Structure 1
Amino acid sequence: MSRLSPYWLWAVLALLPALFTYEALTSTDPRAIHGLLHPTGEFSARLLIITMMISPLALILKGSRFVAWLKRNRRYFGFAAFGYALLHTIFYLIDEGSLTAVTNDLPKLYIWTGWIAFAIFIPLALTSMDAAVRFLGTHWKTLQRTTYVAAMFVLVHWASLHDWGGTGVALVHFAPLALLEAYRGWYWINKAATRRVASA
């Protein structure tokens, strides 16, 4: 797993976006763009969830080569989540067809939450390179923590799309992440308490 070139990973992550883009450019179905909105958005959310699950998984599965590989390539998964979100946004703008239609949609819960999540994704994606990590120093991790805010908006965006049906699907996807993050919080709280007892 450790010998796998990151270029292969990029090729796999870019395959579906390339197929979605090809379909959008070549399909004669006037509803083709609209049909691509949900898969691009859902894959963005799934990749975001995978990216955020890596740290708590590393606590549970210490020594796992697969988790170690995920941790080394975490930024690739995060950037791919942004790539899908960008494609999702482009398809949405094309599907709406005009600035007026986009503006009229803004008060809707599932629209403005999506825009806020996407706005948070932009600086995260722009600072995903090694040069940005070195330049920002300790501030880089602070910026990366806004991923949790973006995830909350993504959850609301997804859950509010189809009333209770959308809520159920969104919660099923985010439930493993919530459980892992709850364990992660318990782990560090318990560890801090153990240290206090030991030093008393």
Structure 2
Amino acid sequence: MQKYIKIPIFFISLLPILIIFYQIIFNQLGPEPVKEITHVTGNWTLRFIIITLAMTPLQKFTKLNFWISYRRMFGLFVFFYASAHMMTYVGIDYRFDWSSISDDIIKKKFIFAGFLAWLLLVPLALTSSKRMIRLLRDKWKKLHKLIYIISLLGIIHYLWLVKVVTVEPLIYLIIIVILLTLRVKMKFN
């Protein structure tokens, strides 16, 4: 049964990027298309981080194990949207001008936080297969706890980007802090 649910969830998770492609094709991204794509992919990265972090508390509260079977797929969507977010910046906005990109990483703290979050996502994506889980055993769990640091770096990236605190990044911050607090409480109970 879960196998049949995963397929629609997978395609629903692709909808944001499909909408972006639709908007590109029909020129509906507004006056600043690169900024819009960057914003949408960044927001979906944070949303998928939240969804991924929510799987364990949902499993604990509902006593239903099926939540955990979706966690890996949602985690890979975190990497997918984070990579789309970064490639928009690197490839479309800066056109692979590595000198300017390096300057940004060094001089702009919000770029540094976002780049670091993406770098930490790479080993998680590379070790997400069942084979790697078996191969790494206990080390796999320790490695995948990086998602906690990544989630905080992601929200810091957003907060430093907007400079003036607005409602949207605060909502993400509150949800992430609640989810991380729940995980800490579950660990000690």
Coarse TM-score class (shorter-chain normalised): 0.7 to 0.9
Q: What TM-score does the superposition give when structure 1 sets the normalisation length? A: 0.81
Query: Percent sequence identity over matched residues?
Result: 25
Partner of 1:91: 88
Contact kept in structure 1, 2:120 and 2:146, CA below 8 Å: yes
TM-score with structure 2 setting the length? 0.86
| More displaced stretch, 169-178 vs 77-86 | 169-178
Q: How far apart, CA to CA, are the structure 2 residues paired with 1:77 and 1:13? A: 8
Identify the residue that residue 67 of structure 2 maps to in structure 1. Answer: 70
Contact 1:56–1:181, Cα closer than 8 Å, also in 2? no
Correspondence for 2:181:
182
Provide the residue aligned with 2:99 in structure 1: 100
CA RMSD of aligned residues (A): 2.3
Secondary structure (helix, strand or coil) at the match of 2:165 reads helix
Distance 2:144 2:89 in 1: 26
Provide the residue aligned with 1:35 in structure 2.
36
- In the TM superposition, 1:3-152 aligns within 5 A as 4-24=4-24, 27=27, 31-63=32-64, 68-93=65-90, 94-97=92-95, 98-106=97-105, 107-152=107-152
Query: How many Å separate the matches in 2 of 1:85 and 1:102?
Result: 17
Pick the structure with greater CA Rg: 1
List runs of 5+ in structure 2 lacking aligned partners. none
Residue by residue over 1:171-195, the C-alpha shift from the partner in whole angstroms, topping out at 9 and shown as x without a partner, is: 3113133224323423443x3xxxx
Q: Give the total of aligned pairs.
A: 185
Assess, with a 3 A threshold, how the Cα gap between structure 1 residues 100 and 3 changes in structure 2: closer, same or farther: closer
For residues 188 and 136 of structure 1, the distance between their equivalents in structure 2, rounded to whole angstroms, comes to 22
Deviating runs (4+, > 4 A) in structure 1?
Answer: none
